[in-house]
Amino acid sequence: MKRISIAILTGSIFFMLSILTAEVREKKSDNFLRTNDNIQNEELRAELEGLRDEFNFERSRIHDYYSKKMEALKEARRNEMKTLKTDFAGRKELLKKKYAGKIRKNQKMKFTEPVKNTPEKMKVSKDKKKNRKN
């Protein structure tokens, strides 16, 4: 019991150390515009920051434009589906009215001869026992 508890304690310590020492990497959205920290020229650094801000603005503008366009297309598709459904519902009603008098009535079937495989004939009497082959 003592060995098991020591093994569990050691394993949990190693697990906690691995979690604590793991580096947290943040996702950078524009890696190709990343500025080098070793750049000494302040004017260049300021221009690169401005370029990155302009890129982020243009990227967000493009995302907004296409998201609006997709919403408009989705709405157009919904409207087309609604009109298609109403059109086919109207055509269905016209067909029902056209064939309203010709609905088939179920007639009861007349049996002249009993069917050979009726359940009564298939029943085995309880007196007879089946012979099993071993």
> What mean pLDDT is predicted for residues 97-111?
68
Please report whether residue 35 resides in a domain: yes
Between 40-44, 47-51, 90-94, the lowest mean confidence (pLDDT) is in 40-44
Please report whether residue 115 resides in a domain: no
Structural domains in the chain (count):
1
- Reply yes or no on whether the pLDDT at 61 is more than 90: yes
Please report whether residue 108 resides in a domain: no
**DSSP-based three-state secondary structure for 19:** helix
pTM over 0.75: no
Cα-based distances in Å from 77 to 19, 65, 89:
49, 19, 18
> What mean pLDDT is predicted for residues 75-82?
97
Per the structure, the complete domain to which residue 95 belongs is given by 31-99
Residue 61's identity, in one-letter code, is R
DSSP conformational letter for 38: T
> What mean pLDDT is predicted for residues 92-106?
78
